[in-house]
Structure 1
Amino acid sequence: MATDRSRSQAFEVWAPEATTVQVVVGEAAHPLQAVADGWWRTDVPVPGGPIDYGYLIDGAGPYPDPRSRRQPNGVHALSRVYDPDGFAWTDHAWSGRQLAGAVIYELHIGTFTTEGTLDAAAARLDHLVELGVDFVELLPVNAFNGVHNWGYDGVLWYAVHEPYGGPEAYQRFVNSCHAAGLGVIQDVVYNHLGPSGNYLPQFGPYLRTDAASTWGSALNLDGPGSDEVRRYIIDNALGWLGDYHVDGLRLDAVHALVDTRALPLLEELAGAVASLSAAVQRPLSLIAESDLNNPILITSRESGGYGLDAQWNDDFHHALHVALSGEVTGYYADFAAPGALAKTLTGGFFHDGTMSTFRGRHHGRPIDTRTIPPARLVVYSQDHDQIGNRAIGDRPSSTLDDGQLAIAAAVTLLGPFTPMLFMGEEWAASTPWQFFTSHPEPDLGQATARGRLAEFARMGWDESAVPNPQDPQTFLRSKLDWTEKDDGRHARLLAFYRELARIRRERPDLRDQRFASVHADAAADAAWLVLRRERTTLVVNFSADARPLPGIVPAAEVIASFGSCLSAGGDRTLGPHSLVVLDTPPTDSDRHASRTPSEEAAP
């Protein structure tokens, strides 16, 4: 990392196995002196203006700084000094947002707008405020090779991707979000590095040689030298939250972290973030993506867990997707079981120790619903993975009708969990969101495409329809078309999303942080679902036929509906693919439920 000191520049880097280290500034190479724990440091006189630099390790290089803040000419070029403290923040009154009770909106900077920049995204924040969003979650923005990809191939984690606007544009974006009343969650990837531009092994033992995932070599979290590797990760996380004023981090694929130490990295990170949160006096959230269905992630550290604030819950998505679409290929097969969605709504996980036929083994363990509030599960009917990892990146709007899309929105937004929307879903965007890359190396591009085909084969999808990730049109097709949101079905669904967000915000029982307050019943044939809270009942007809739903209070006030809702002979009757939200009086079971407030009571 480089820091500015008046007319000289301080340079320091961790290179524990090097014999000599030099920093190249301009035409000159300056030696660094070895200090403690494998670190090297020096001060170099510098002229005014931008300072580009790189490190020679035992004469090889120059390589970009592992902690580079800016890469104006790409990840293979020299780093440039950037001081984040030089930005003129105006968010001093921002006190942050709690995750409980909030709505998250996931977006990808490169495809959210035509321009694909942070500044262009900031110009669209009014739309998110009107929608009723509380947090904007950005897919990874760290520096990667090429012009565009999803962001999960980052190699310089401290630098903001230059085509998005670089670090100052990122600060402007966060500042604008806070001015609009929106928190920011940044997606970060600590389980692997991208395949091009990763020079970390030239500096030290950042990677394991004995463990890898399908994405690349695992980070060295528990071997010799791992203290500094963990410090590298934790410092990066604290940098987003501190230097860039971010309100939370989404931790990509934590199940791919290989860590055998007594103090797991995730628990150590949670402790460091809690300390920073106390120092800055605003909430800071950590959200894990995990394929393990293991509640230890969201169990408090006092109770022996890792102490993360939330984790993504794919089981909710899968159960809802099957109920709406009937698709049962690949990992969707198990979720065709009767009551799968109701079980997920009331218990959190569907696979809580049950047999997973896709994995060929039992999977997961139950959530302790007495001590873990439902807000610690982030749920969605769409997200970047569940759309982009389909063969053609097709959104549900391409196959489901308006009623089915409205059902997906209602179950997600009015359910007990923390809901997340994926950019464009609120207006049934017609554009796909496909897997795209721009690897400059042809061989790497071809290898990436072959890997995708292998994944699709296991899901039983048509490989012949898969677009080439390297084709620029694949990227351009994935950009949102903002001109369509105010017309036809798009406008109708957008209005309904806004109504649902308002209902969620105005009815306290929908933010109740007790699993005991959640009651769900489903028909044996999965044709209907009744989701009841203390005073709000959502009734859904998944069927293509009108269905009488006995047992629903006929005199209950209709708060909102989509499709047709009739009263006939004392029963509610819902038309095909319809839903109704009712104001219903509490039942005896509600009155006798525990009123002990959750540790994360919603605001």
Structure 2
Amino acid sequence: MSILRKIGADYTPGRGTTFTVWAPEVEQVEVSLHTPNKKRLKLQREAFGYWTALAEDAGPGTRYMFTLNGEKERPDPASLFQPDDVHKASAVIDHSHFNWTDKNWKGLPLEQLIIYELHVGTFTEEGTFEAIIQKIPELKDLGITAIEIMPVAQFPGNRNWGYDGVYPFATQESYGGPEGLKKLVNACHEQEISVVLDVVYNHMGPEGNYLNDYGPYFTDKYHTPWGNALNFDDAHSDHVRNFFFQNALMWLRDFHIDALRLDAVHAIYDTGAKHFLQELREHVNQLEEQEGRNYILTAETDLSDVRLINPIEKGGYGLDAQWFDDYHHVIHTLVTGEQEGYYEDYGKPEQLKKALEHTFVYNGLYSEHRKKTLGTDATANPAQQFVVCSQNHDQVGNRMLGERLTQLVSFEMLKAVAGLVLLSPYVPMLFMGEEYGEENPFLYFVSHTDKDLVEAVRKGRKAEFAYFASKGEAPDPQSEETFNRSKLQRSYTSNEKQKQLREFYKQLIQLRKTAPALAKPDKPNMEVNLEEEKLVLHLIHKGAAPNLYCIFNISNQPQETALVNTTTAGGNWKPILNSADTAWGGGGTGNGEVLKAEASLSLPPASVLILEQQR
């Protein structure tokens, strides 16, 4: 494991600020301090192209820029705060002064996470960390145990999904900066809610990205959808790796973040002996020992590869979990009928059974969409290693019109889909607003200042929809109206149907938290039967008594079925939750009586019925 080197502006009370920057191909580096007696300090060159200097009078709030070779004035690539914008001065901050009140908080284990993905700018009207704090009671009431925040690394302007960040260490100023994020994390921990932060280590945004002026942060060995890849295995790559290792450790150590979601790790190219992700895990393990607590690393990937999550001693990278897209794609295609683009590989009923029993649908199978064989076998991997959802920022926002599932399926089907996610053995994740059927779209938006870049983004979005048959004009990503249309309405307080849907989600979450059979759900503790023609799924959790029997009708027709004769047969089955009940906005149902094994029953269209075994 490599030895890490501090970078950026490191303030120590009573001593001043040490400035360190990696610029191996530069002949001279100075730091310009925007203090009352403005001055320039020459940095001393050290091994491997690091430059450093101590400024005793540079305290928190001091603005500064680096001057390279006496010509180019640039912000700090490891800036902790960009108070003005991505092109102007960086600012010194003091990580040591925040009054944390969470010293007894140790985080939650994976199997207890019920994740709520949110975008800071559109989750509230104000679009700030402070405003999210005001909504924590709502999330607590719903039963959420973790929020997952889309990237907050400083990006140009104040409207962006966050994947165009160019200062990985600087918390977005328009959201409330580093102080605002710490307040949010502290407030979540007070309510026993974990915080997952989405971080991007596979590319950098285009505007305000000055890394090339400092050194070989990128390599032309590999090409990504965003241009040259970040340099994780070429000449000088040790120091690029150091940059991102330090970033991950900062979020966990200095911001008390509980887990990192690593964006699109399939675009992190590294053919070296020790993959970047494995070494990241090792550095985080070391931090865990120092801090006396665990941190969770989750990857987003489209490769269906268990190497990411297998233990290091078994040749894996040792990450804790990964997003499991197959489950989303199977559900989405079955309930919407959509088959365009990557959805052409899905839509077969038997894939739902396979996703529950074996996890990856493509586990060494040929993918028609990708024109290649894809995936490994994840049957033996515990269910808690996979995060599932029916909606997320990508699957909603990468539609041309940003429609949520609310616009694509019936109200009754929304409840059935909620059951498929929250009653699966996997770690469930909701996308902000889905719990009450938010009707506003979640669109793609930016606020770049470079006109040529704005045009390139517009063209890129149009090209991206070549695969999809969505009709209509793509909303302008640069328009403020596109951003405002993506904000949550929170209309469930005045809309009866939305209130009922939210209450149904609450019941499902409560059941997941309290039912003994769901305390540690896993694939070996389940029986899965599927009536493919009828689209009726029988899912029985038998990890602990009493067993739970979940019956889903994900067709739009009423269906007749019978309880399957299972190894858990014996005793009777008592209905405890039925999506068709009038309490949840359903049409009412006759399925209230206790059922015997192999009993016949009628299922309304798009419904879920949950039974508890009576001994």
Q: Which amino acid aligns with 2:132?
A: A
For 1:535-574, what per-residue CA distance to the aligned partner results, in whole angstroms no more than 9, with x for missing partners?
Answer: 1111011122211112358941111011154459931211
> In the alignment, is residue 537 of structure 1 matched against residue 549 of structure 2?
yes
Q: Deviations over 1:429-465 (max 9, x none)?
A: 0111001111111211111111111111112333x33
Mapped pair 1:525 → 2:540: no
Alignment map for 1:85-100 (pairs within 5 Å): 85-100=96-111
**Does residue 132 of structure 2 align to residue 132 of structure 1?**
no
Q: What is the distance in 1 between the residues matched to 2:482 and 2:81? A: 28
- Answer yes or no: is 1:429 the counterpart of 2:438: yes
User: Is the CA contact 2:572–2:614 (under 8 Å) kept in the aligned structure 1?
Assistant: no
Amino acid at match of 2:431: F
The aligned counterpart of 2:329 is 318
Note the C-alpha offset of 1:513.
4.8
Change in CA separation of 1:347 and 1:565 when aligned onto 2, cut-off 3 Å: farther
* Counterpart Cα distance in 2 of 1:343 and 1:486: 40
Residue matched to 1:453: 462
Number of equivalent positions: 583
Which deviates more, 336-345 or 380-389? Answer: 336-345
The answer to whether residue 316 in structure 2 is matched with residue 305 in structure 1 is: yes
| Alpha carbons of structure 1 residues 49 and 287: separation in structure 2 relative to 1, 3 Å | closer
Provide, for residues 447-502 of structure 1, a one-character-per-residue CA deviation record: whole Å limited to 9, x for no partner.
1111111111112333x331111111100000001243452211001000000000
Aligned partners of 2:115 and 2:430 also within 8 Å: yes
- Matched with 1:504 is 512
Query: What's 2:4 paired with?
Result: none
Say which SS state the counterpart of residue 41 (structure 1) adopts.
Answer: strand
Cα 1:517–1:547 change in 2 (3 A) is: same
Q: 1:338 to 1:356 in 2, by over 3 A?
A: same
> Pick from 61, 64, 70: which aligns with 1:53?
64
| Bigger mean CA deviation after superposition, 61-70 or 413-422 | 61-70
| Mapped contact 1:68–1:159 kept (Cα < 8 A) | yes
TM-superposition CA deviations, 1:83-139 (whole Å, max 9, x none): 111111111121211112321110000000000000001110111111111111000
The answer for the alignment partner of 1:558 in structure 2 is 575
| 2:485 is equivalent to residue 477 of structure 1 | yes
Measured after TM superposition, the shift of residue 509 of structure 1 is 1.9
TM-superposed deviation, 1:155: 0.5
Decide which moves more: 183-192 or 337-346. 337-346
Change over 3 Å in CA distance of 1:101–1:9 after alignment to 2: closer
Q: 1:7-46 residue pairs with structure 2 within 5 A?
A: 8-26=16-34, 27-46=38-57
SS of the counterpart of 2:466? Answer: helix
Tell me whether 512-521 or 427-436 shows the greater mean CA deviation.
512-521
Give the distance between the partners of 1:494 and 1:313, measured in 2 at CA: 24
Which residue in the other structure is 1:549 paired with? 561
Segments of structure 1 that go 5 or more residues without pairing to the other structure are 587-603
The superposition leaves residues 290-347 of structure 1 with CA deviations (integer Å, 9 ceiling, x where unpaired) of 0100011111112111100000011000001112111112211221223111110111
Match of 2:583 in 1: none
How far has the Cα of 1:45 moved from its partner?
4.2
**Structure 2 residue 167 is the aligned partner of structure 1 residue 160:** no
Is the Cα contact below 8 Å between 1:542 and 1:576 reproduced in 2? yes
**Cα distance, 1:9 vs structure 2:** 2.9
- Using the alignment, how far apart are the partners of 1:48 and 1:337 within structure 2? 61
Task: Give the equivalent residue in structure 2 for 1:600.
Answer: none
Task: Please report how far the alpha carbon of residue 49 of structure 1 lies from its aligned counterpart in structure 2 after TM superposition.
Answer: 6.7
Q: Structure 1: which amino acid aligns with 2:509?
A: A
Task: Kindly indicate whether the alpha-carbon contact (under 8 Å) linking 1:108 and 1:150 is maintained by their aligned counterparts in 2.
Answer: yes
| Distance in 2 (alpha carbons) for counterparts of 1:224 and 1:103 | 42
The CA RMSD measured in Å over matched residues stands at: 1.7
- Maintained 8 Å contact 1:429/1:485: no
The equivalent residue for 2:604 is: 575
Letter in 2 for 1:440: T
* Structure 1 counterpart of 2:400, one-letter code: A
Distance 2:423 2:234 in 1: 45
1:559 aligned partner, one-letter code: I
| Mapped contact 1:485–1:494 kept (Cα < 8 A) | no
- Using structure 1 for the length normalisation, give the TM-score: 0.94
What's the offset of the Cα at 1:578? 1.4
